[in-house]
C-alpha cells in the first residue's frame, strides 16, 4: 500500500516534508525499478528547491546503477514528449504545479510519456531501501526545451493562424522560455507577463490560478485574447478581449464541437470530471456529443479515456488531454489546439465564452483532516439532503484534496442564492465535523 505517493506524485514543503534524503531514496528506488543501466529523464520547474532535489535524485539514480539524464527547466509534458527521444525507461518531474514556491513534488512517468499506474508507484516506494550498484552515471539532455518547442510546432502548429494579437502569462514557471519561443515561431504578436522566474515568484499572483493578471494585460494592450499557464505548464486557461475568464469547460467545448464537425471525435464522446459545469453537459447534448464523467484529476480522465477509446477529455481547471497527438495534458498544446479550433469555427474568444450559460457554481476549500471524510456520516447525510432539495437542477460534489489538507465543497444550482446558501451550509458542516 502506498504511503508517500498521492494523486500526483510525492508532494510536500521542500526541505521539510520533501527532503534531499527522500529525493535521493526515490531516485535510487526508481533506478532499481527501471533496471541497471536504464535511463531516467529528469525535468523541473523554476522553484528554488528544484536544483537541490534534482541533485539528490541524480545521486540516488547513479548510486543504484541507473543513468540520470537531466533536462533542466522544462514543462511537465515536455518530459513526457522527450522521454522516448532520450531513450528513457522513466521520466521524472520535479514540480508542485500550481502550488506556492515553498512546496515541491516528484512524480514519475513511463518511457511512453504516460503517468505510472498506482501499482508501479507502490513498487518504486517498496524499493527505497534496496542495494546500491556500480555503473551508474549522469548525463545532460542538450537543447531539451528547443526540441520540445519544435515538436509542439510540428504537431499542433499547422492549423494555427499567424498574426494573432495575444497575451501570455507563464506564471514565472516552466513555460517562461518555451511559450514565448513557440508563439513567436508561429508568427503571433505576443505580449507577456509572468516570464521572469526568480525561484520564489512561481504562481505568485500570476498564472492560471490568477486570471486577473492576464485580463489586465489583454485589456491594457487591446489584445484579442489571453492565455495563462500554471507553474509546470500542463494547464491552460484564457480570457477574451474584455478580460472575461475562459475556463477548461469552455476550452473543451470548443475543441469538442470543432472535432465533431470535422468527424474527428471517436464515438462522439468526451470525458470530463464531476466538477464540469452542467451548462457544458447541455451544450454537448445539443451537438450530439456524449459526456462521460469521472473523478477529479487528470489521471482519472486519462484512465477513462484509454478504457473507453476516447481521444478528448479534460478538466475545468484547464487540463486538456488530446490522445490523438499526445499522452498527457499539455498547456502549450492546449493553447495551440484552441487557437486552431477558434479559427476553423470562425469565432472569437468572446464567442467561445458565450457558447453556454454556466450554472452558478461555488467551490469552497475547507481546512480539514481529509482522511476522516469517508467516515464522516453527518457530512454525507447533509450532502444527501442538499442533493435531494436540488433535484435535477443542481448537484453537490464533495471530495478530499489529493495534495493538500483540504476538503473541497462544490455546489451547482440554477438559482445563485440557493447555490451560495447550500455551499455555505455544507462548508460549515465539514468544518464542524472534521475541520482542522
Give the integer Cα–Cα distance in Å for 9 and 6.
Answer: 5
Catalytic residue among 97, 176, 208, 317: 97
Q: Which three cell numbers stand for residue 103?
A: 512546496
Distances (CA, A) of 118 to 220, 303, 323, 407, 428: 46, 12, 21, 22, 33
Residues in the chain: 436
Give the integer Cα–Cα distance in Å for 126 and 172.
Answer: 35
Task: Identify the bridge partners of residue 239 per DSSP, sorted by sequence position.
Answer: 226, 245
The percent of the chain in helix, strand and coil, each rounded to the nearest 5, is 40, 25, 35
Q: Say how many C-beta atoms besides its own lie within 10 A of residue 377's C-beta.
A: 9
Q: Is 162 exposed, middle or buried (0-12, 13-18, 19+ CB in 10 A)?
A: exposed
Query: In 3-state terms, what secondary structure has residue 22?
Result: helix
Distances (CA, A) of 372 to 60, 377, 431: 35, 10, 12
List of residues 6+ apart from 167 with CB closer than 8 A: 190, 191, 192, 193, 214, 217, 218, 221, 223, 225, 226, 227
Q: Say how many C-beta atoms besides its own lie within 10 A of residue 103's C-beta.
A: 24
Give the integer Cα–Cα distance in Å for 234 and 417.
Answer: 34
Rg (CA), the chain: 22
- Residue identified by cell 509542439 is 152
97 is catalytic: yes
- Please name the residue ranges forming H helices in 127-227: 144-156, 176-185, 211-221
Q: Say how many C-beta atoms besides its own lie within 10 A of residue 390's C-beta.
A: 19
- Sign of the dihedral through C-alpha 278, 280, 285, 286: positive
Q: Is 90 exposed, middle or buried (0-12, 13-18, 19+ CB in 10 A)?
A: buried
For the annotated catalytic residues, the residue numbers are 97
Amino acid at each position: 500500500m502506498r504511503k508517500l505517493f498521492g494523486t500526483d506524485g510525492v508532494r510536500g514543503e521542500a526541505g521539510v516534508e520533501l527532503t534531499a534524503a527522500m529525493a535521493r531514496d526515490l531516485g535510487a528506488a526508481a533506478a532499481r525499478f527501471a533496471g541497471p543501466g536504464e535511463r531516467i529523464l529528469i525535468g523541473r520547474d523554476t522553484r528554488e528547491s528544484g536544483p537541490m532535489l534534482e541533485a539528490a535524485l541524480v545521486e540516488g539514480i547513479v548510486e543504484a546503477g541507473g543513468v540520470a539524464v537531466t533536462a533542466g527547466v522544462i514543462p511537465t509534458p515536455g518530459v513526457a514528449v522527450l522521454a522516448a527521444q532520450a531513450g528513457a525507461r522513466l521520466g521524472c518531474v520535479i514540480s508542485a504545479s500550481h502550488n506556492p514556491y515553498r512546496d515541491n513534488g516528484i512524480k514519475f512517468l513511463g518511457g511512453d510519456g504516460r503517468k505510472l499506474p498506482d501499482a508501479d508507484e507502490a513498487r518504486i516506494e517498496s524499493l527505497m531501501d534496496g542495494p546500491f550498484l556500480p555503473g551508474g552515471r549522469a548525463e545532460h539532455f542538450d537543447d531539451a526545451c528547443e526540441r520540445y518547442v519544435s515538436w509542439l510546432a510540428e504537431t499542433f502548429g499547422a492549423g494555427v493562424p499567424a498574426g494573432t494579437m495575444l497575451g501570455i502569462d507563464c506564471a514565472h514557471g516552466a513555460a517562461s522560455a518555451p511559450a514565448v519561443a513557440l508563439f513567436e515561431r508561429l508568427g503571433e504578436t505576443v505580449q507577456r507577463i509572468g516570464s521572469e522566474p526568480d525561484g520564489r515568484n512561481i504562481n505568485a499572483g500570476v498564472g492560471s490560478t490568477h486570471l486577473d493578471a492576464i485580463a489586465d494585460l489583454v485589456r491594457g494592450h487591446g489584445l484579442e485574447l489571453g492565455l495563462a499557464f500554471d507553474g509546470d505548464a500542463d494547464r491552460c486557461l484564457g480570457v477574451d478581449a474584455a478580460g472575461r475568464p475562459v475556463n477548461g469547460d469552455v476550452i473543451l467545448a470548443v475543441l469538442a464541437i470543432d472535432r465533431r464537425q470535422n468527424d474527428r471525435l471517436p464515438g462522439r464522446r468526451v470525458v470530463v470530471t464531476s466538477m464540469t459545469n452542467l451548462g457544458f453537459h447541455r451544450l454537448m447534448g445539443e451537438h450530439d456529443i456524449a459526456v462521460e464523467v469521472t473523478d477529479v484529476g487528470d489521471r482519472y480522465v486519462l484512465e477513462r479515456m484509454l478504457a473507453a477509446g476516447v481521444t478528448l477529455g479534460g478538466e475545468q481547471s484547464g487540463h486538456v488531454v488530446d490522445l490523438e497527438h499526445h499522452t498527457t495534458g499539455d498547456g502549450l498544446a492546449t493553447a495551440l489546439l484552441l487557437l486552431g479550433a477558434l479559427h476553423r469555427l470562425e469565432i472569437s474568444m468572446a464567442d467561445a465564452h458565450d457558447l453556454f450559460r454556466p450554472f452558478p457554481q461555488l467551490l469552497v476549500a475547507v481546512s480539514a483532516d481529509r482522511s476522516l471524510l469517508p467516515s464522516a456520516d453527518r457530512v454525507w447525510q447533509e450532502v444527501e439532503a442538499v442533493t435531494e432539495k436540488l433535484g435535477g437542477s443542481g448537484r453537490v460534489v464533495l471530495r478530499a484534496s489529493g495534495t493538500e489538507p483540504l476538503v473541497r465543497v462544490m455546489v451547482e444550482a440554477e438559482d445563485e442564492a440557493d447555490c451560495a446558501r447550500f455551499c455555505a451550509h455544507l462548508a460549515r458542516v465539514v468544518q464542524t465535523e472534521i475541520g482542522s
